């Protein structure tokens, strides 16, 4: 999407700047929080993609997730997630983060809703780098560790996890 198209649709200057910057090591776009636009139904895999990105920001240098923005910068809006209202959207997001990342980790995430001129809403989740490793818990209880690698999210295998944690959290993690 061109900058002129973004400006015509989004009155919020920060939103214009965020989208214009594109995806990178500290910013990611997700079209929806839970709704699979291809199959037109709620999908846990879509939600997991959001939470693992947030976990990766916590485990790296921090970052920003824009929910309601497609990879090409088109504003889709959180309305596509089909929550009855914005409060229900935020409550669901907060609950998912607490369940999958833990209560302590989620204190490092600021959630903000920004509106556009065409009545669409983008959720901006701004994450600070965590002082301790943050694991993403799956439904079965299995935990994964994610980091940002360039503009993508990467799951570290156990063989690399120990080295990363020792180097990234050297004085922060104690037995």
12 band by pLDDT with thresholds 50, 70 and 90: confident
pLDDT at residue 155 is higher than 90: yes
| 8 A C-beta contact, residue 47 and residue 118 | no
Q: What is the mean pLDDT of the chain?
A: 90
pLDDT digits (tens, 9 = 90+) for 57-96: 999 999 999 999 999 999 999 999 999 999 999 999 999 9
Q: Which residues pair with 41 in a beta bridge?
A: 36
Say which residue, 9 or 140, is predicted with more confidence: 140
6 band by pLDDT with thresholds 50, 70 and 90: very low
pTM of the predicted model over 0.85: yes
pLDDT digits (tens, 9 = 90+) for 93-109: 999 999 999 998 889 99
Tokens of residue 45, six digits: 């895999």
CA 138 to CA 146: how far, in whole Å?
13
Which residues lie below 8 Å from residue 107, measured CB to CB, with a gap of 6+? none
pLDDT at residue 8 is higher than 60: no
| 8 A C-beta contact, residue 153 and residue 56 | yes
> Domain 3-168: which topology?
3.30.950
């Amino acid at each position: 999407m061109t900058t002129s198209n973004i400006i015509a649709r989004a009155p919020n200057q920060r939103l214009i700047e965020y989208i214009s910057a594109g995806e990178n090591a500290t910013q990611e776009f997700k079209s929806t929080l839970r709704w699979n636009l291809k199959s037109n139904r709620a999908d846990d895999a879509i939600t997991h993609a959001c939470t693992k990105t947030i976990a990766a920001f916590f485990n790296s240098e921090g970052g920003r997730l824009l929910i309601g923005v497609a990879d090409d910068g088109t504003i889709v809006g959180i309305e596509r997630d089909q929550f009855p209202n914005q409060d229900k959207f935020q409550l669901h997001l907060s609950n998912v983060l607490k369940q999958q990342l833990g209560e302590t980790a989620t204190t490092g995430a600021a959630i903000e809703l920004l509106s556009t001129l065409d009545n669409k809403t983008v959720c901006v989740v701004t994450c600070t780098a965590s002082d301790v490793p943050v694991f993403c818990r799956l439904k079965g209880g299995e935990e994964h560790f994610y980091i940002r690698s360039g503009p993508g999210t990467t799951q570290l295998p156990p063989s690399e996890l120990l080295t990363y944690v020792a180097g990234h959290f050297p004085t922060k993690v104690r037995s």
